[in-house]
Structure 1
């Protein structure tokens, strides 16, 4: 899937694009069921909230066939390669749960700062591209973005190991207030199947979810091949060391996988 000239212009200016319903309800259901199966079993790759509910399932593309397809899906890989002008590899793969009633916050931060400080990523030539697995509503902790904040480069951040169960390099309130005064805040919402892509230096965060509506999102962190990490400090299931370029998955691969499973069960 290639981005249009208008989408490329918006990404360059605002630091993000959102494409509603980029994946069909049938494709979403395949991914949603795979996510539920993963969260139902304890694994070292699943990070829990302080309350004990799942927060993030890392690296599930390495042990789950559905997410192995997703990690190389052309609707995700091609737009990122289009922006970078070269092939990409998976730096990180995760499903964020944001569980009903107890999904915790994600503090204001820039992703590249963590990738640089913790993984030795040389440049912000990596970004997140994500798929909504549930309807993302204004009330269930949508991701909030600060448009144009990527133009500030990597901003000085502090290592927050106390607010949530997951350590993160975060921004102070005064910095966030200044950036929001300049660019505002947007919170892309929409039906399951929506696709969100944003710059590695775009400031973002999300509030907790105290509603009955879960908000699961798949995140692929794709990096340009020329931007491979050099000094990783985190486990390889968080910051991958496999720099194999992506490709080779058909656009209808999720439904083909579903159909093959049905035939095998008959």
Structure 2
């Protein structure tokens, strides 16, 4: 999987890129089953909303084979290597849920703001590349992005540890209003298997989900090896300390797992 010159240009200009249905329905089905099995577990890596619904599951690639394969999949690793021009390691891995009716808000923020302040990441040479496990629609809490906001650099932020169950370095209303006036807001939507990648400084957030339709997205935070974190303060299952470059698996690795599932079900 390699990005075209036009896709790379679009990414640098807008700060984000969406690749529709990069993974097949069979591949996604494996991940959906395994994500639910993870959410059903009581373990420190699984964080929940205040109402008990799953919010995120960290480091799934370290204790689940399907997500280990996804975390080294060339359709995700190679595009980020193209953008950075070097090899990458896994800084963070999470499966974010927006449960039907109960999924809570993610406030406006920049990811690099957290990576810098909490993990000691030197520069915004890391990004999220994500896989839709459910259909993401305008109505079920899609990610909201402010195009071109990555050009504003690292913005002043406040550490919000009260609004929701996950602490974030959030932006104030005046800053968001100014950036939206310049770039607008987009909400990338698409079918399961779509892949969204966005710059570490791109301003984004999401509203709650009050619909019957869940919205699960897997996020791989890939960091350039030269940009390894210096002073982590969060647990290692949130900010990883293994800076080994990722060696991608075969492109058919997840498809083979899907075939094994299919055979076992027959």
CA distance in 2, matches of 1:162, 1:237: 22
Query: In 1, distance between residues paired with 2:256 and 2:18?
Result: 26
For residue 29 of structure 1, report the CA deviation from its aligned partner.
Answer: 0.4
Using the alignment, how far apart are the partners of 1:100 and 1:157 within structure 2?
30
Mapping of residues 160-175 of structure 1, within 5 Å: 160-175=160-175
Equivalent residues in 2 for 1:216-231, closer than 5 Å: 216-231=216-231
Q: Which runs of 4+ in 1 moved over 4 A?
A: 261-266
Residue 236 of structure 2 corresponds to which residue in structure 1? 236
Deviations 1:182-223 (A, max 9, x none): 000000001111100000000000000000000000000000
* 1:247 shift after superposition: 1.6
Distance of aligned partners of 1:181 and 1:95 in 2 relative to their CA distance in 1, 3 Å threshold: same
How far, CA to CA, are the matches of 1:264 and 1:193 in structure 2? Answer: 23
Structure 2 length normalisation: TM-score?
Answer: 0.98
Cα distance in 1 between the residues matched to 2:164 and 2:141: 15
- The reply to whether residue 49 of structure 1 matches residue 49 of structure 2 is yes
Where does 1:2-17 land on structure 2 (aligned, <5 Å)?
2-17=2-17
Shift of 1:262: 5.4
Residue 151 of structure 1 aligns to a residue whose secondary structure is helix
Q: Return the offset for 1:41.
A: 1.2
After TM superposition, give the deviation of residue 259 of structure 1 in Å: 2.7
Q: Which residue of 1 aligns with 2:199?
A: 199
Distance 2:165 2:218 in 1: 19
Find the residue that maps to 2:130 and give its secondary structure: strand
Correspondence for 1:258: 258
Cα distance, 1:49–1:4 mapped onto 2, change above 3 Å: same
Tell me the distance in 2 between the aligned counterparts of 1:190 and 1:211. 17
Whether 1:210 and 2:210 are equivalent positions in the alignment is: yes
Instruction: Identify the residue that residue 136 of structure 1 maps to in structure 2.
Output: 136
Q: Deviation at 1:265?
A: 7.9
Q: How far, CA to CA, are the matches of 1:234 and 1:199 in structure 2? A: 22
Q: Structure 2 matches for 1:148-159, cutoff 5 A?
A: 148-159=148-159
Separation in 1, partners of 2:97, 2:249? 26
Matched with 2:67 is 67
TM-score in terms of structure 1 length: 0.98
User: Which stretch shows the higher mean deviation, 133-142 or 252-261?
Assistant: 252-261
Q: CA deviation at 1:264?
A: 6.9
Displacement of 1:22 in angstroms is 0.8
Q: Structure 2 unaligned segments of length 5 or more: list them.
A: none
Inter-CA distance 265–33: structure 2 relative to 1 (3 Å threshold): closer
Contact 2:158-2:169 at 8 Å conserved across structures: yes
Shift of 1:248: 3.4
Post-superposition Cα deviations, 1:217-237, rounded to whole Å, max 9, x if no partner, equal 000000000000010000000
Cα RMSD over matched residues? 1.1
Give 1:15 deviation, angstroms.
0.2
Cα distance in 1 between the residues matched to 2:144 and 2:129? 15
Shift of 1:244: 1.1
SS of residue matched to 2:215: coil
Residue of structure 2 in register with 1:245 after alignment: 245
Helix, strand or coil at the partner of 1:216: strand
